Amino acid sequence: MGALRKFLAWLSVPVICAIALLLYVARPFNPDNNRLFGCVVGRVGRFILGMERPLSGQENIPRDRPTVVIANHQHNDDLFVMGDLLPPRTVTVGKLSLVWIPFFGQIFWLGGNVVLDRARSHKAVAVMQVTSDAIVKERKSLWIFPEGTRSRGRGLQKFKKGAFHAAVASGAPITMVCASQYKDGTLGWLGRREPVSIRVLPPIETSGLTTADIPELMARCHREMEAAISAMS
């Protein structure tokens, strides 16, 4: 039953994408499209999976100003776990290959999200610095997985610098979203997915920081997120 639930949950994604594409075409590159899409996908996915998601600290997500959200990335199912937590006017960061996925790729592009080409990773920091202009001028928030790849529940991996350059360049606070470690474990004969807990930590202000402060900023965020994840797991 667990495998069937997962299949149906992911089957719902292209269906939702096909419907949402009408909204994205009607108002292309409107960042609030991403928040509405994430809300629907996350809640529908968790409903199909039978997954509970205890959430604490949601009040720490800024709603009245842009923020750079960083979250730990474990599996593709993070879309269901965290999809409905995007602040208003949020864009996300993804790899170039996502653009070619039918329906989802078009949704991703029309949402004005940031596309990174790993083959040109030396330009990633520059892309994040350009993104900081959108944070300031267009009052967009940015959601990024700073590990850069899925950890598959093996603990918090080393962070890449892009998100922190964007936060410091824009002066936006960093909001840390921490998910407990999880796999595809199920409960009972109905195959309900094991709960995944989320804790949102208080924002870290970056106003007044410079690029010289980024290594310590990264280390602080990593320490605080690692402690929160360990406490939940």
Read off the pLDDT of residues 147-202 as tens digits, 9 standing for 90 and up: 988 888 788 999 998 899 999 999 999 999 999 999 888 888 899 999 999 999 99
Over pLDDT 90: what percentage of the chain? Answer: 69
Instruction: Report the Cα 224 to chain-centroid distance in Å.
Output: 18
Beta strands in 123-225 (DSSP E): 141-144, 174-179, 186-187, 192-193, 198-204
Note the pLDDT of residue 125.
59
DSSP state of 126: H
Helix axes 2-26, 32-49, angle to 10 degrees: 160
pLDDT tens, residue by residue, 207-221: 999 999 999 999 999
Q: Which of 177, 232, 233, 181 is nearest to 200 (CA)?
A: 177
DSSP state of 64: S
Lowest-pLDDT choice from 23-32, 47-56, 78-87, 117-126? 117-126
Task: Check pLDDT > 80 for residue 119.
Answer: no
CATH of 2-232, one of 3.40.1130, 1.10.10, 1.10.3470, 3.40.50: 3.40.1130
Give this prediction's pTM.
Answer: 0.90
Q: In this structure, what token pair is assigned to residue 151? A: 């950890």
Distances (CA, A) of 196 to 100, 180, 182: 30, 6, 7
Query: What ranges do the domains of the chain cover?
Result: 2-232
